[in-house]
Every structure is written in C-alpha cells, then in structure tokens.
C-alpha cells in the first residue's frame, strides 16, 4: 500500500521545459520501479517513461525520447520527469505509477499504484 502524488504540471509554451515530481509515501520506495504515463480525453493512456527499481535503466516512448528524462531519487522518495522541448502534442494529464521490483514496464496494468495526475498544457 502507498500513495503517489504528482506535482509540477502547468501551462507552458512550445519549447519550454517542465519537471514533474512524484512523491511516494507508505511504500518502500527504493524497491519500486516507476513509470510515467499520460492521457488525454477520449484516448487511451499512453506510456511515457519508466525506470527500473534499481535506477540503472530507463525506457522511453519514441515520442519523447531525447526530450524527456526520468530519474529516481530514493533518498527523497521521489521520481521525476524532466520534460524539455515541449510541444502541444505533450498536453495531457501525467500520472506516475509504481511497480514492486519493476524492470521496464510500458503496460499500465503492470502497475498497481497510481497517482491522481498533474495537468500539463503546452500552448502553441
């Protein structure tokens, strides 16, 4: 059991950067792989990025590779998503998710702990 709370979303312009944070509580954070997903109304939830529970490997959707960076800070019980060169196509609600001893993980059903999400809106 545990709770994930995202923060850092907002309204930005094309080309801007944002760093999302996902703070975890109530779980042994260092044992969890973490993922970021995003969703817009009427569309299926989309995988964005994931990091192994060890923090050694990261995984990205093709649409964000080279622009987004996921990182995990066990000492702070927090996973981050650094988003650069944002475009309107990145507009979505971004949610983080946790998976015990997770390696990779691009499928939402692989995760059993989810945050409520934070809105990212990128204007043109």
Q: What is the pLDDT of residues 29-39, one digit of tens each?
A: 999 999 999 99
Q: What is the pLDDT of residue 101?
A: 95
Q: Please give the backbone phi and psi of residue 45, each rounded to the nearest 5 degrees, phi first.
A: -60, 135
What's the rounded mean pLDDT across residues 112-122?
A: 97
pLDDT above 70 coverage of the chain, percent:
99
Give me the pLDDT at residue 81, please: 98
Tell me how many helices (H) and strands (E) the chain has. Answer: 0, 11
- In this predicted structure, what is the pLDDT of residue 68? 98
Percent of the chain at pLDDT exceeding 90: 96
pLDDT tops 90 at residue 16: yes
Whether residue 9 is predicted with pLDDT greater than 80 in this model: the reply is yes
Model pLDDT, residue 71: 97
| Phi, psi (degrees; rounded to nearest 5) at 30 | -65, -15
């Amino acid at each position: 059991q545990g709770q994930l709370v995202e923060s850092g979303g907002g309204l930005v312009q094309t080309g801007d950067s944002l760093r999302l944070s996902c703070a975890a509580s109530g779980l042994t954070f260092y044992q969890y792989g973490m993922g970021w997903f995003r969703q817009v109304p009427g569309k299926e939830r989309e995988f964005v990025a994931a990091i192994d529970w060890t923090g050694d490997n990261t995984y990205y959707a093709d649409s964000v590779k080279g622009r987004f960076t996921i990182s995990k800070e066990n000492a702070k019980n927090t996973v981050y998503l650094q988003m650069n060169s944002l475009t309107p196509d990145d507009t979505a609600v971004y949610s983080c998710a946790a998976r015990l001893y997770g390696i990779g993980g691009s499928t939402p059903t692989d995760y059993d702990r989810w945050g409520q999400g934070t809105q990212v809106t990128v204007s043109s």
